[in-house]
Structures are given as C-alpha cells and as structure tokens.
Amino acid sequence: MHQGIMKAWLESSHLNGANSTYVEEMYEAYQVDPQSVTEDWRVVFDNLPLVNGTSKDVPEAAHSKVRDYFRSLALEGRQKGSPKVTDHEVDAKQVKVLQLINAHRFRGHQNANLDPLDIWKRDKVSELDPAFHGLDSDDMQRQFNTGSFAHGGETMKLEDLVKALKTTYCGSIGAEYMHITDTDEKRWIQQRLEPSLGAANYSKADKTRILEGLNAAEGMEKYLGAKFPGAKRFSLEGGDALVPMMREIIYRAGDAGTKEVVIGMAHRGRLNVLVNILGKKPSELFDEFAGKHSDINGSGDVKYHQGFSSDFETPGGNVHLALAFNPSHLEIVNPVVMGSVRARLDRRGCDTGRQVMPITIHGDSAITGQGIVQETFNMSQTRAFRVGGSIRIVVNNQVGFTTNLTEDVRSTEYCTDIAKMVQAPIFHVNADDPEAVAFVAQLAVDYRNEFKRDVVIDLVCYRRHGHNEADEPSATQPLMYAKIKKHPTPRKIYADRLIAENTLGSDEVTAMVNDYRDALDGGDCVVKEWRPMTLHSVDWSPYIGAEWDDSYDAKLPIDRVKHLAEKISYVPESHKLQSRVAKIYKDRLAMASGEKLLDWGFAETLAYASILEDNKRIRITGQDSGRGTFFHRHAVLHNQNDATAYMPLRNIADEQGPIDITDSVLSEASVLAFEYGYATAEPVGLTLWEAQFGDFANCAQVVIDQFLSSGEQKWGRLCGLTMLLPHGYEGQGPEHSSARLERFLQLCANHNMQVCVPSTPAQVYHMLRRQVVRPMRRPLVVMSPKSLLRHPLAVSSMEELAEGSFQNIIGEIDELNASKVDRVVFCSGKVYFELLERRRKEGLENVALIRVEQLYPFPHEEAAAALAEYSHVKDFVWCQEEPQNQGAWYCSQHHFWSVIPAGAQLSYAGREASAAPACGYPALHAQQQESLINSALKL
Ligand code: AMP
C-alpha cells in the first residue's frame, strides 16, 4: 500500500497535465463509489478536508478544489516545514501523515486501553507508530495538513496530532467503524469523536449523575450479597457502568423524542437493572429472595427472568420502559424485543423508529456463540422486520461461565465481529471509565437516530464473582480472579477521580453510599426518574382473563360477506397478472358471484378482509407468505409488465385496518420469535406466521417451548399469534410431510394454546375470525393443508361462511342410518377426504366419520354430541396418516377414550411407528396410505 500510494502521489504531485486529469478521473469514480478506486487512493480522498464543514458537500466539491488542495499541501509544507526539504519530500511526508491518521481510524481500537484488568494482551499495531510511516522526531515539530481529521485547525504540529490521535482512538474508547462503506456515516462518526478527542466535557451535575449510577449498581449488589449470602443474583459487579450507561441512553433517547424503550437482557445484572433503571421496588425483590410470591395462577419464574414495565422521566418527557420477560436461553429474546418494538412503532404510525427504541444486552460469549444473533442482525434492515436500528450492549466480562475466551469461546478478534455483517459501528469501551461509557452511550443513541441502523457498545469489564454467587471462579480462572480480588470497584475508582479533581468531597461520596443503602432499607423505588405507568400504548384489559368461551359472535351478514368477496377479487385492469394467477382471480370472481363454491385461498382471504374491514391490523410473514408456498394465496399480485405489487386486501374500504403480508428472511427462529414479540405487544389484530413447510418450525423450537407454549403461565403474557404449518402426507418424503403435530400436543396443558386441523374453507375462515373476535389471546397452532387447497371436496358455500361458526368437531355429513353403524372413525385433516371418498366408492354404510378439527383443547361436549347417535357402537378407531409414535395418537387418545361409550374399544389405524416422519419412496407411501385407509374402514 505504502509504495503504491507514494508512487501515485509522486506521479501526480503538482497535478498538472496528464496527472491532474488522471487524479480527477479517479476522484470522480471515488465520488460515485468509494470502493471503485484502490485503497491507496481511497485513503487520500477519504482524508480530503470537508468543504463547508459537512461531508455531504464533498461530492459537490469542484475538481479545481481538489487540485488546489493538493497544491496547498505542498505549499504549506514548504512554508511551515523545513525550507530545505524538497517538494517531493514534503508531499511524501504529508501522505504519510494522512496514512497515520487513517491507521488510527482503522486500527486505533486494537491498541486502545479497553481492559480494566489489563490482562487482555494485544499485539502492538505497528501502523499506529509514526516511525512505521517514516515520520521521525524532526517531523514531530513540523506542521502538517490534517486532512479530514476533525480536531484543531487545518494544520497541526505532528507531535500534537499524534497525541490527539492517541487520545481519540487509543484511550478508553476503541471505535471500530471504518468497515462502514458509507462515507457520510464514517464522517459523521469522525465528527463526533475527533473534535472532543473522544471525551465529553461533563458538568458537575453530569458527573454526579454518573457516580450515582455506579453507586446504585454497587450498593444494590452489596446489599443483596449481605442480606442473602450465597443466593443466586447474577451480580453485575465489574460491569457496574451498565447502570449509568442505561440511564444516559434513556435520557438521550427521551430528549430526542423516544416514547418507549423495550429492553431485552439475560440474567447478568438483571436485578440491578430492574431496581435501578426500571424502578422495581426493592422490597418486592427482597420478598422474592425470601421465597414469597403473589402469583397464584401461573408457575411464575425465577426473579432474574422477570420483566417489568414503568415510566421514566427524561428532559424530553416521560419514556415508557418495558423489560421483556426472558427465558434462560441467552439470546433468543432479541428478536422478541424487535417484534415488540415493531408492533409499537406500527401502532404509532412511526416508520423512522424514532418513537420506540430497542436495547438488547448481550453477554460476550453469547453474542458470538449464538446463531440467533446473526439472524437478528440480518433482519435489521429488511422491510418486515426493521425497527430503525437497535442499541446493542455487550456486558463483556471476558469469561464465559467457566470458559476462557482466548482459545475456547470464539474464532474472531472481538466478540462483536458479527455486527460487522450489517456494518454496525462498534464502540468498545473500558467500563472503569464511566465518562467514556456515558459518551459512547449518547453517541450510540444519536447514531441510531440519524442512520436508523444497529449500533454496538462493547462494555469491556469483568465479573467480580463466579457465574453466580455460589460458584468459585478461581478454580478455573486463577490469575484473572487473583487480579479481580485486588482491583478497586468502578464506583471507588470514579469517586476517587472526582474527589481528586475537586468535583466532589469525600463526605459527599460517603453520604451518597449511605443514602442509597437507607433507600434500600426503606424498600421503596430508588429511581428518582421513575413515574407511574400511564396507558400510553394499548389496553390489555379486555383480553386479560378471557377464557375458552365459545359464546362469541363472529357472524357477518351475507351481504357483507358477498361485498367483501367482490372486493378481494378485484384487480385493476392495468395490473397485468401472470396467466396462472389470472386464472385463480378469474375463479375468485366466479366464487364472488356465486357461480362457484369457495376454495381455501378465497375463504382465507375473505377472513382477512372481514378483519380489516373492522379496522383491525393484520400482519403475515413467512418465507413465501405473499404468494403462499403452495400457490394458493396470491395476496400480493406482481404486475408482469413493471413488477409493481398490488394487494386487493389493501383496497377493500376507504377506512380499513392496515395489512402487511411480507415474505420473510429465510429463518424460522428469529422470525417466529419476532412475531411472538409482535403479538405480545399487539392484541387487537391478527398476527400470523406461516412456515414454508411445517417441519421447518423445529428450527424455532426454542420459541415454541420457551415462549409460545409457556409464556402465559410463566409470565402472564398473553399472545394471540397464529402459526400456519403446512402438514399432510402427500408422498413428499420425510422432510415435507409432517409439521410434527405430536410436539405441539405434548406441550399442551392448562389450555395454553389451541391446536387445530381445519378441513374446509369455511373452517379456515371461521378459525381465523374467531382468533380475533374472541377476546381470548392464546397461540393458535394450525396444521394447514397442502393438497386440500385445491381438493374438489374441500369447498364451502358463501352461506357456510355467513351463517356458520368454527366447528371444533364435525360429525358425520352423509346420511347414514346410525343404527347400521358399527364403527366410528375419528380423524383430522386430509385423511378424512380419502376415507370419505373410499367409503362412498365402496358403498359402505356401517362406518361413520367424525372429524376432530380442534385437537386441543379437546372439545369434549361437541364430541359427545356428535357421538350421541352412536351410543350402541363398540368399535372406535382413530385414523391418522402419521406413524404411530407421531401425530395425535399418543397425546390425544385419552381424550378419545373419554368420549366413547363405556365398554367400547378404541383402536389405531395409521402408519407403523417409525423414526422418520414419512417414507421417501412414492410407491411405499401409496401402499402405506392404502393400507391405513383399508384398516380404518375395515376393508
Ligand atoms: P408494556 O408496554 O409491555 O410495558 O406493557 C404495559 C402493561 O400492559 C404491562 O404491565 C401489562 O400489564 C400489560 N401487558 C403488556 N403486554 C401484555 C401481554 N402480552 N399480556 C398481558 N398483559 C400485557
């Protein structure tokens, strides 16, 4: 690089003739795309001084200005430097000075003073040494042009420049941002870091506030440690600066117009954040430590997983704070937080992200170890999932439970390297310098608001105790803990600093400690900015306590259904459809006018239209949700001429609810977690996630296990999310047949969620409407069909939509003589139609077919009603397509037993138990299918 830049420089020095044209051409190319010129030239152009002080003006800079600038470098060098040096030498040194500046911007963080314990040994970066660039002690006294370095005047003595660079880039802040390709962003960060040399000029009040934060953080942990020795609290000690940092972030955000902040964090430091930021009463926490609990309904959760909500006063007005409930999984809460933020932003109609801000707090091992972090970064700028950027804080205590970072935790230089995939700036900061911490906190908020992108703060700290307080960390980290034992606390270090600089007296510092301890003794909220929560966002009261009550009324007059049917079938003529899609819409017109019975896609779309007409919001994501994996939905229509999109569902009424149907990123875990977060913050409308194939939901198993199925019981958080999981044995092999129904059924208890297998278009219509109209907000898991989407028997009439409701059980539909029936077959889903067709074909009159459309909660009364006329029957069968160890057989048979007559037998007709969900050979599949149908029908 260095030879290259020298050559280029020397060749173009004094920019005349051909050389100036050459440089101009390159500069033009650089303006269009900085990556199009070689790195040597990028350094030179990046370092051109700002015209009129703002980087935005740079692209408009006239070429003559560039030429003039290069000339001035040489001139200044001659005037201010040694008159004996030649032009070429001055030019060469000047370029090296620019390189030195650049080296600090790029690599200063690698030699920054980041580790409070000073055990993180890093190689010296030679490019940060002036000698590396050929700049010697004589040069130190010379004036050089400082290019775009935003401190001091246009020129500086090299000695001063080096000092300024070291202070800015190698002090307590290691700013990593030169991986960002956008020049404006880089310049913006430089403008924030360089003028003040990476430090703020804090007033006494600011400094006192920062110390108060450290005082509270330490005071709280010491108090808990003394009062409940040995109890697990996952102490923050060592990372105490998190508390003043959070306060600065919230202050800054509130000042800039943020109304809500949603926080996600794992257990480390959580109790401290709960008490010292969110204002949870210490007395409540102490009660929890003492084992008392007030929650008589749910299972509750350990105290360091609890969420909390409050309001917090800032100079810009009150900010609502919500700390998300969190399972033990360290990172999965991040997409949940993002979903919650997106729901709040959508409700507020804010698409910049300004009004609601996410903060996620990570551990250093987890942020680099857990794939969900990558997924969440990947979502951060996409249409369906963006939230205007998030503030991501790493509490980097340099140890993973007992695992050493150096060899065993990661393969990257920093734990935060993953953030570079979205070009997020990363501010590493020494947690023992709380002013630097406060400075980056403010910088991060401003960056997020300015660029609507993620930003990372890597709070480099340590962990004073073991992973928890019962642990003995010296067993595995002897040297680190020998050092920690001797290391003063962050509060002590900062208090001593403020005393030494005469900002505070030692008596004031001591009083602060005592006052805080007294406040904890008092048990009341210790956060002076705490304000009682106001109803700022959404009222959950209509939904809280709403139970399994089927007395809701979701019926719509038939005229209204017909009107909506016309609306969803209309496509402007100018919007040219692909021929297969055009055929589907032609059929829809026929369905709307009553010429055809309704198919699945039509009824499903009608359900959405009816919800929107009620002014409620709908959000659907999934990998192919616009079209539908199986080509049935076509809610987003792509114009074949210009690729524009048209959504009939957005055009059903002048005033209607908003609808977003967006194809998601190719992930299940983060998307489902996001939608869970969305649905737990948005009770009014319908939030729906569709899997491409149902079995892929297992990539999101943690979300299903730890949030969806148990969130209400653990945390009292309701969630009306609907999951559409394509399921059905169509001979597609082990991977695309089963949505693993058995897994969901196994998680069902306490009426925690609904598991449905609708078999007709009318059923899917009513099921979706019920999910919104009924005030109960619990997850709905749907085994949704594939071949039934186009099955000639799976059709419904407009009347069935208008007059019916969701049937948890569908009894026999053919007119059988009940007294001739000697076998009743229960089944769910598509196998029903195969049984029906075969029975009709064989002319059987002795087998009745009963569809269980809702497997959980099992509808005992409706099942009993459907069976009433078969009380004489002794032979009952459950028929399923899945292998015997899968499907509903094991989890639901006790329900079937409970509704059949006393003395009757229940047997199984289905595939044999199998390790794989389905076979891959079409012939074998067909043979198995035939055999299970025969067995169910006694053929
Ligand atoms: P938040 O905006 O998340 O801080 O919630 C404010 C309040 O609304 C909470 O304290 C709860 O009382 C209630 N709330 C929020 N989300 C839910 C939910 N998913 N289920 C039940 N209540 C909720």
Q: How far is the CA of 532 from the centre of ligand 1 (A)?
A: 14
229 alpha carbon, distance to own chain's centre: 36
What pLDDT, on a 0 to 100 scale, did the predictor assign at position 292?
79
pLDDT of residue 87: 59
Q: What is the DSSP string of 370-437?
A: -HHHHHHHHHTTSTTT--S--EEEEEE-SEETTEEIIIII-SSSSTTGGGGGGT--EEEEETT-HHHH
Flag whether pLDDT at 121 surpasses 90: no
Residue nearest to atom 13 of ligand 1 (CA): 540
Q: Are residues 798 and 815 in the same domain?
A: no
Residues 793 and 837 occupy one common structural domain: no
Element (H, E) at 157: strand 155-157
Best residue for ligand 1 mutational test, from 297, 309, 359, 708 (most atoms within 8 Å of Cβ): 309
Reported confidence tier of residue 534, pLDDT bands at 50, 70, 90: confident
Q: Is 680 left (phi over 0), alpha (psi -120 to 50) or beta?
A: alpha
Residue nearest to atom 10 of ligand 1 (CA): 309
Contact 670, 619 (CB under 8 A): no
Residue that the structure tokens 């409050």 belong to: 310
649 and 780 part of one domain: yes
- Other CB atoms within a 10 A radius of the CB of residue 540 amount to 14
Q: 32-41, 198-207, 632-641: lowest mean pLDDT where? A: 32-41
Q: Which of 306, 290, 286 is nearest to 298 (CA)?
A: 306
How much of the chain is in helix, strand and coil states, percent to nearest 5?
Answer: 45, 15, 40
548 is a domain residue = no
Q: Is residue 52 part of a domain?
A: yes
718 CA to middle of ligand 1, Å? 8
Residue 414 Cα to ligand 1 middle (Å) = 36
Distance in Å, CA 264 to ligand 1 centroid: 15
Here the CATH number for the domain that contains residue 388 is 3.40.50.970
Q: What is the pLDDT of residues 846-866, one digit of tens each?
A: 999 999 999 999 999 999 999
Q: Specify the residue with its C-alpha closest to ligand 1, atom 2.
A: 322
Residue 10 covered by a domain: yes
Average pLDDT over residues 411-424: 96
* CATH number for 835: 3.40.50.11610
Geometric angle at alpha carbon 117, from 112 and 122, rounded to 5°: 40
Q: Is residue 609 part of a domain?
A: yes
The predicted pLDDT at position 403 comes to: 78
Output the pLDDT for position 407. 78
Cα–Cα distance for residue pair 854/888, rounded to 1 Å? 11
Distance 37 CA to ligand 1 centre (A): 53
Residue 496 has pLDDT above 90, yes or no: yes
CA 537 to ligand 1: nearest atom: 2
Question: What pLDDT score does 536 carry?
Answer: 65
Ligand 1 atom nearest to 718, measured from its CA: 20
Residue 909 lies in a domain: yes
Cα 324 to ligand 1 centroid, rounded to whole Å: 10
Length of the chain: 939
The CATH number covering residue 785 comes to: 3.40.50.12470
Tell me what pLDDT residue 12 has: 42
d(CA 267, CA 701): 21
The number of the ligand 1 atom at minimal distance from the alpha carbon of 310 is 4
Which residue's alpha carbon is at the smallest distance from atom 7 of ligand 1? 309
Dmax over CA atoms of the chain, in Å, equals 118
Closest approach atom of ligand 1 to CA 533: 6
The residue among 51 and 40 whose pLDDT is bigger is 40
How many angstroms is it from 703 CA to the middle of ligand 1? Answer: 19
3-state secondary structure 329-342: CCCCHHHHHHHHHH
Sequence-distant (≥ 6) Cβ neighbours of residue 349 within 8 angstroms = none
Sorted by sequence, the CB contacts under 8 Å of residue 777 that are 6+ apart come out as 543, 546, 679, 683, 718, 719, 720
With cut-offs at 50, 70 and 90, classify the pLDDT of residue 57: very low
Average pLDDT over residues 35-55: 64
Atom number in ligand 1 closest to CA 544: 21
Measure 789 CA to ligand 1 centroid, in angstroms.
37
| Statement to judge: residues 81 and 102 lie in one domain | no
- CATH code: domain of residue 144: 1.10.287.1150
* Ligand 1 mean position, distance from CA 538 (Å): 8
In 884-924, beta strands by DSSP E: 905-911
Which residue's alpha carbon is at the smallest distance from atom 8 of ligand 1?
A: 540
- Pairing relationship of beta strands 875-883 and 823-827 according to DSSP bridges: parallel
Residues 296 and 379 in one domain: yes
Q: Which residue lies with its CA nearest to atom 14 of ligand 1?
A: 540
pLDDT tens, position by position, 324-360: 998 888 899 999 999 999 999 999 999 999 999 999 9
Cβ–Cβ under 8 Å, residues 455 and 444: yes
What's the rounded Cα separation, in Å, for the pair 442 and 494? 19
Which residue CA neighbors atom 6 of ligand 1 most closely?
309
Minimal CA–CA distance to 366: which of 393, 388, 386, 341?
Answer: 393
Q: Are residues 780 and 889 in the same domain?
A: no
* Range 387-402 average pLDDT: 91
| Closest protein CA for atom 1 of ligand 1 | 322
Question: Over 90: is that where the pLDDT of 232 sits?
Answer: no
> Quick one: average pLDDT of 618-629?
94
Q: Pocket residues for ligand 1 (CB within 6 Å)?
A: 309, 322, 537, 540, 544, 680, 717-719
Q: Contact at 8 Å (CB) between 726 and 622? A: no
What are the Cα distances from residue 25, in Å, to 8, 13, 63, 154, 543? 14, 15, 9, 26, 65
Domain assignment present for 428: yes
- DSSP structure string for 50-90: PSTT-GGGGGG--HHHHHHHHHHHHHHHHHHS-TTS-HHHH
Q: How far is ligand 1, taken at its centre, from the CA of residue 681, in Å?
A: 7
Cα pseudo-dihedral 486, 492, 493, 499, rounded to 10: -140
What is the CA(717)–ligand 1 centre distance, in A? 7
Contact 904, 873 (CB under 8 A): yes
Separation of first and last alpha carbons in the chain: 82
Q: Which atom of ligand 1 is nearest to the CA of 680?
A: 19
Q: Where are the alpha helices (DSSP H) in 203-319?
A: 204-227, 242-255, 270-276, 282-289
Ligand 1 center to residue 539 CA distance, Å? 8
pLDDT at 304 over 70: yes
Q: Do 630 and 725 have their domain in common?
A: yes
Span from the CA of 357 to the centroid of ligand 1 (angstroms):
17
- Which atom from ligand 1 is nearest to the alpha carbon of 324? 3
Which SS3 state, helix, strand or coil, does residue 618 take?
Answer: strand
Q: Which two tokens stand for residue 278?
A: 């969110």
Please write down the HEC assignment for all residues of 835-878: HHHHHHHHCCCCEEEEEECEEECCCHHHHHHHHHHHCCCCEEEE
My answer on whether 729 and 758 are in the same domain is yes
**Coil, strand or helix at 531:** strand
Shared domain for 758 and 882, answered yes or no, is no
CA of 540 to the centre of ligand 1 (A): 7
Q: Is residue 199 assigned to a domain?
A: no
Among 568, 597, 933, 600, smallest CA distance to 764 is for 600
pLDDT category of residue 291 using cuts at 50, 70 and 90: confident
- Give whole-number Cα distances, 904 to 259, 312, 897, in Å: 62, 64, 9
Kindly give the number of the ligand 1 atom that is closest to the alpha carbon of 344: 2
Atom of ligand 1 nearest to the CA of 543: 21
Mean pLDDT over each residue of the chain, to the nearest integer: 91
Q: Which residues contact 490 (CB under 8 A, 6 or more apart)?
A: 116, 214, 217, 218, 238, 240, 241, 431, 432, 434, 461
Q: Which of 21-30, 320-329, 679-688 has the lowest mean pLDDT?
A: 21-30
Structure tokens at 598: 């309704």
Locate the ligand 1 atom nearest the alpha carbon of residue 309 and give its number: 4
DSSP state of 523: T
Domain residue limits at 155: 98-172
Domain shared by 785 and 845, yes or no: no
The bridge status of strand 754-756 relative to strand 780-784 is parallel
- Per-residue confidence band for 89, with pLDDT thresholds at 50, 70 and 90: low
Average pLDDT over residues 532-540: 83
Residue 56: per-residue pLDDT: 35
Q: How far is the CA of 774 from the centre of ligand 1 (A)?
A: 19
Pocket test for ligand 1, best of 308, 534, 540 (most atoms within 8 A of CB): 540
Q: Is residue 106 part of a domain?
A: yes
For atom 11 of ligand 1, which residue has the closest CA? 540
Residue where a domain terminates, one of 803, 833, 859: 803
Bond from prior residue into 901 cis (ω within 30 degrees of 0)? no
Residue 399 has pLDDT above 50, yes or no: yes
Nearest atom within ligand 1 for CA of residue 683: 19
State residue 23's pLDDT score: 67
Percentage of residues of the chain with pLDDT beyond 70: 92
Rounded distance between C-alpha atoms, residue 301 and residue 296, angstroms: 12
DSSP string, 110-151: GGS---TTS-------GGGSGGGGT--HHHHTSEEE-TT--S
- 764 and 831 share a domain? no
Whether residues 873 and 766 fall in one domain: no
Q: Number of structural domains, the chain?
A: 5
pLDDT at site 413: 93
| pLDDT band, residue 294 (cuts 50/70/90) | low
| Mean pLDDT, residues 156-166 taken together | 97
Please state the atom number of ligand 1 nearest to the C-alpha of residue 322.
4
Cβ contact 45:34 at 8 Å: yes
Distances 52 to 59, 190, 220 between C-alpha atoms, Å: 12, 16, 50
Tell whether the model's pLDDT for residue 86 goes beyond 60. no
Calculate how far, in angstroms, residue 322's C-alpha sits from the geometric centre of ligand 1: 9
Ligand 1 atom closest to the CA of 340, numbered from 1: 3
The alpha carbon of 609 and the centre of ligand 1 are apart by a number of angstroms equal to 28
Examine the pLDDT at 122 and tell me if it is beyond 70: yes
User: How far, in Å, CA of 409 to CA of 396, rounded?
Assistant: 13
Give the residue whose CA is nearest to atom 3 of ligand 1.
322
Closest listed residue to residue 271, CA positions, set 295, 311, 300, 305: 305
How many CA atoms within 13 Å lie on the side-chain side of 153? Answer: 5
- What residue's CA is closest to ligand 1, atom 12? 540
